[in-house]
């Protein structure tokens, strides 16, 4: 660690003001990614702005078939929410499978999305459900939010307030997890809606992306068999010590089939 200033605003207005005055400041949510980065000196901001005291950034509510989840809502709270279990059970199961108990009780939805780790689970849900990320300045459609490796559409001064998830007809999520970190080596969130089928993949590429070939086939036949012969090109997929790109390509199909099977039982 190294010396830095620390602020703990009690309102969104105070947080936004502090961020405007300090262009190089970092927002602290659950700290599950930022604190390790600080410890390793991969991130060296002059100021940390802790969002934990801003009550309006937490909570879950359902209105007009949309479930809104505050940016500072913990993974454990999403997993345990009766509203989530009733409206989008696949989202609850996803949250229950993030990291370990300590991570789930400290990590937040907004922190995960802002960090945009390629192996994170929430990006698959946001993209798969066609959610909207609402900041203090605008609303960002899921299809325009994830831009690349640890890169999002967020601009300087923006703070994620909440995410609005539309309720699907049915949805499922499956991932092949790395045993130690429990990040997804490949995961697929499959969602059937009145406007079509969406398949979002996480863990396999630089950021979450949609598998549109699968979407077209599942729109005609929402069964695991419909996509069993689909193999996504491995050229743009991640390859590391945990899994080669061609293995990840295979996992995408398997996880998508499992997600479809899960969704079909709802």
- Residue 51, domain member (yes or no): yes
12 part of a folded domain = yes
Q: For residue range 109-121, what is the model confidence (pLDDT) as tens digits?
A: 999 999 999 999 9
**Cα–Cα distance measured from residue 192 to residue 84, given in angstroms and rounded to the nearest whole number:** 17
- Read off the pLDDT of residues 65-114 as tens digits, 9 standing for 90 and up: 999 999 999 999 999 999 999 999 999 999 999 999 999 999 999 999 99
Residues near 137 by Cβ (< 8 Å), separated by ≥ 6? 155, 157, 158
- Residue 32 structural domain: 1-56
103 near 177, Cβ under 8 Å? Answer: no
**CA separation (Å) from 260 to 4, 59, 122, 189?**
47, 29, 18, 9
Q: For residue 109, is it within any domain?
A: no
What is the CATH classification number for the domain harbouring 248? 3.30.390.50
134-171: pLDDT as tens digits: 999 999 999 999 999 999 999 999 999 999 999 999 99
The CATH number covering residue 22 comes to 3.30.43.10
Nearest CA among 101, 113, 216 for reference residue 164: 113
Provide the number of structural domains found in the chain: 2
Quote the CA–CA distance of 177 and 94 in Å, as a whole number: 12
Domain finish residue from 56, 86, 101: 56
Answer whether residue 228 is part of any domain. Answer: yes
Q: Is position 98 within any domain?
A: no
Is residue 255 situated within a structural domain?
yes
Q: Does 148 map to a domain?
A: no
């Amino acid at each position: 660690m190294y010396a830095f200033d620390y602020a703990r605003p009690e309102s969104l207005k105070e947080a936004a003001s502090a961020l405007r005055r300090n262009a190089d400041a970092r927002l602290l949510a659950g700290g599950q990614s930022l604190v390790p980065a600080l410890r390793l000196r991969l991130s060296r901001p002059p100021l940390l702005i802790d969002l934990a005291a801003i009550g309006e950034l937490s909570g879950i509510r359902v209105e007009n078939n949309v479930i809104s989840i505050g940016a500072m809502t913990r993974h454990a709270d999403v997993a345990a929410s009766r509203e989530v279990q009733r409206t989008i059970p696949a989202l609850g199961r996803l949250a229950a499978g993030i990291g370990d108990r300590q991570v789930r009780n400290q990590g937040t939805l907004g922190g995960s999305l802002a960090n945009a780790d390629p192996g994170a689970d929430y990006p698959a849900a946001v993209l798969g459900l066609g959610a909207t990320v609402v900041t203090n300045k605008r609303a960002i459609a899921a299809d325009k939010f994830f831009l690349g490796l640890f890169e999002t559409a967020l601009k300087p001064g923006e703070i994620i307030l909440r995410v609005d998830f539309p309720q699907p007809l049915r949805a499922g999520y499956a991932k092949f997890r790395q045993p130690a970190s429990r990040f997804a080596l490949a995961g697929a969130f499959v969602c059937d809606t009145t406007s079509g089928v969406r398949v979002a993949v996480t863990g396999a590429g630089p950021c979450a992306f949609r598998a549109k070939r699968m979407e077209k086939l599942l729109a005609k036949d929402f069964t695991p068999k419909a996509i069993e012969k689909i193999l996504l090109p491995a050229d743009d997929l991640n390859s590391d010590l945990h899994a080669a790109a061609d293995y990840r390509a295979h996992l995408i199909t398997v996880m998508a089939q499992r997600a479809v099977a899960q969704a079909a039982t709802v």
